[in-house]
Structures are given as structure tokens and as C-alpha cells.
Amino acid sequence: MYLEKNKLSLLYKVAKKKSEQKKSTIVFSFTQEIKLSNNFISLIDIELGKSKKKSYWGQKNKNREFISFGESFSLNTDNLDKSFINLNIEKIINDNVNFNETKQNNIPIFIGGQNFDINKTNIDIWRKYKSVNYQIPEILILKSDNQTTITFFTLMNKPFNSIYSKCYDYYKAIEDYSDNQKKSKMIFKSEGIKTDKNKFIDQVAYIKDKIKKKKVRKVVLSNIYKYSIKKEGTYSLLLESMIKEYPECTIFYFDYLNEGKFLGASPELVLKNTNNNIEIDALAGSINNGKTISEQKENQKKLYESKKINDEHDIVIKGIKKSLLENNIKIKCGKKHVLKLKNIQHLKTSITAIKNDMKIMDILNTLSPTPALSGYPKNKSIDIINDIEDFDRGWYSGTIGYISNNLNAEFYAGLRSAYINDEYIYIYAGAGITIDSNEDEEWLEIKNKMNAIDQIINE
């Protein structure tokens, strides 16, 4: 272990001087390597004080994952408007005073997410969650490019000795953590589905009527399954199961203490920015994976040949293209291909573009929710969803992700997800309804998507 007080003191003085010159919020951070003797994900079980918020982000196929602890600063809709948040995220990152002893150059600073409908205040089970919330942690441990680093973040509003003492204690607790504690599995009891099939059929008919009247072309209809938690368990076990079952997906976990926990395995990239190169997934049109290899091949063929599925997919591409062209961003589309997951297959098109001078959060809000998550046109689809769904989506099918110190960013859709609030866990899933939709097939699609999480929590 090393955390040199004299060196850190000199760095702190540099940051302090900049803070006084700027007369604004300045984040001081420093990064160094750390050696861990335990399984990385087991760190999520550390208790660094009972009041520490936590998050986990894992991408097995990219060999990248991080865990954050605590909150040194946040921007959210409880105290600020959305335009202020978007403006200040980049300003704070640009003003950040960071000292990095490692080769790691893509370190997340702001981590969080936002509602499916960012203009809607959360109610019901989501009432404690902020509709938009991005925070700078106190600690971030990042494993990427065969290197594990630890970054400490703090605002320049505390004396140096206090900051150093806290960092030292955190560092020691993390490095000395032993993964020998007994891990227990969570136990759930089914409480039933929110919207039964008969009501679902009525909702589909209502949407089709709106489509016939040319009000919309597509609406994504969702449902929710509720379980009571009979026994609290170890969350690292739950996340490890997700990683094992869905290595192609991004695994996410946000523990906001008494506000609730949001976790899942998302296959859908909403927006990625790497050195001003933008990537987006158009992921729409789904079919059951099939139990045998021959069934899987047959279903893959159906994905490519189905008019309904291809129309639904093309609407998503059209909506993304329209949103970006309105902001002078031209896109390039790759070829349609099939993304195969354990329970389901999706039709997918990768989209690329060159970022202009728009702020990344403004681009995100222009895109989100994409037609794959809401429908088309977006605003009219959201209005219909808010009218007919008798539960709050919250962050489900919203966007979750991070912005790094170099203004690179990565955001995924909050799909294949579950929300834990008080003594209950809620599983969400949805299906895109078009004029050619079959009620039974859409109902089955939602159930298959729910099974993706259901099988993990009840294995």
C-alpha cells in the first residue's frame, strides 16, 4: 500500500489555487494503481460506512469493469433544471484537477442515469429516485486494459488533513478486504404480474387504433412483475450470475441506499462517444431464441424475413436519424445482423456518426428514449405510454452510464432490469407494438424478456 502524504499535499495546493482562481466548484482527484487479492466484483460487498452509495459497471466482452463508493458531488433534478445539469457536467469535468500516476486515461467521473421520461416526476415505487441523477463518487476502482486503478475524488471545500485521513482509511479498507465472508443467496416470492393478458390485449388494440389514425407508427408497451424479498442476500452473487449468463451485455448496479437499487443486463447501447466518434445501437425486433440449434436457426431466419419485425426495426433507425439530423449530425448505418442472447434474439444495426460541438448530454437527451424504447414519433408515443400504463417506469428503459475525465461517455438502456425498493423487487420488460403486431406474440416476447432476469434471481 502507498499513499504519500507529502506528494498529495503538494498536488492539493495546486488544486486549491485553481479553485480560488475559478471561484467555482473544483473537483480534485488523483489516481494510482492498486493491487487486489480478491475477485473484483466481491468489492461491492464492502461496507465502507453504512451511508455509502455504490455502483457497479461490468462489460465482460470488453474486459472492463468498475465499482464506485460514496458521493462527493451530484447534479440532479431535485435541485437543478436539466439544462443546468448538461451545461455543468462538462464544465466541472474540464475544470477537474486530476493527478494520474497510471496509463489509465478513460476514468469515469460522473456516473448515474435518468428516467425513461425525464420530464416526469417519479411517483409510486420510484418516488425516492431522482428522475435525473449524475454523481461524482468518493472512490472509483477501475479494472481495464490489464490494470486496476483507484481514484479518489473530493471537492475543494475541506482541509487537506481531513481529506488525506479519509482517503487513507478507504485505501486500507479496500486493499485489506478479505473475500472470506459467507455469501448468501437472495430468496424471492412471486406476487404476480401488474397487467394481465386481457388488459394487455386491450392496450395493444388501443395502440393499433392510434396507428390506424396516423397518430403514431409504433409504441413500446411494457409490463412489470413483482416479487417480495423473503431473504436478503449478497449482491455480488446476483451480479456474478448476470455476468455469467449474459457476457454480451453490460451489467449495471446502482445502490442508492433507502432510495432503492436498480440493476440489470442491458444489450442496448444508446450512445457512446470516443474522441468525438459516436456509436449507437438500433436494437428492435425480437424473437424467442429457441431450445435447439435448428430452432435457433429457424428463428434467426424469421427475424430477417418478418415484415413486422423489419418495419419495427426500420422505424427505430428512422427515429434516431431524424433526432440527429435535426442537430446537424449525419449518421452511417451498418448492416442488420442478429444479436443472440440466452433467451432471445434481436435484430440489430450499428450506427456511427461524428460528434459536432453539441454537449454529449444534450445529444443523449435528443436521442433518449429512442424509438426502440418508446416508439415513433417519440413524444406522442411517450404520451400514450403515460396514459395507458398504470405504473411508473422510472429508470426502466431510461439511460444509465457515465462520462469520463476525457469527455468520452457510454450510456446504455436500462433494460433486462429490476428495481428493488423496500421489501420488493420489480422486473420490467417491453415489446414494440406496430400495426402488424400479434397480441399473443407480443405477450410472449415480454415474458421471454422477463425470464432473462427471473431465471437469474430464482436459479
How does pLDDT run across 108-160, given as a tens digit for each residue? 999 999 999 988 888 889 999 999 999 999 999 999 978 999 999 988 877 88
- Torsion, Cα 234 236 237 238, to 10 degrees, reads 90
Query: Is 23 within a domain?
Result: no
- What value does the mean pLDDT take over residues 427-443? 93
Residue 98 lies in a domain: no
Q: Encode pLDDT of 34-79 as tens digits.
A: 888 778 998 998 877 666 899 999 998 899 999 999 999 999 987 6
The structural domain count of the chain equals 1
pLDDT more than 70, % of the chain: 98
Structural domain includes residue 142: no
What value does the mean pLDDT take over residues 422-427? Answer: 91
291 occurs within a structural domain: yes
312 falls within a domain: yes
| 156 is a domain residue | no
Q: Smallest Cα–Cα separation from 433: which of 209, 198, 121?
A: 209
By residue range, what is the domain housing residue 207? 187-233+274-397+429-457
Residue 424 pairs in a beta bridge with 228, 421
Tens of pLDDT, residues 159-178: 888 888 888 888 888 888 87
Residue 2 pLDDT > 70: no
Residue 325 pLDDT level (bands cut at 50, 70, 90): very high
Q: 221-276 pLDDT, tens per residue?
A: 999 999 999 888 888 988 998 999 899 999 999 999 989 999 999 999 999 999 99
Instruction: Give the model's pLDDT for residue 349.
Output: 96
Query: Is 21 contained in some domain?
Result: no
Q: Does the residue 143 lie in any domain?
A: no
Give tens-digit pLDDT for 198-228.
999 999 999 999 999 999 999 999 999 999 9
User: What CATH number did the domain enclosing 210 receive?
Assistant: 3.60.120.10
- In this predicted structure, the answer to whether residue 318 has a pLDDT above a threshold of 70 is yes
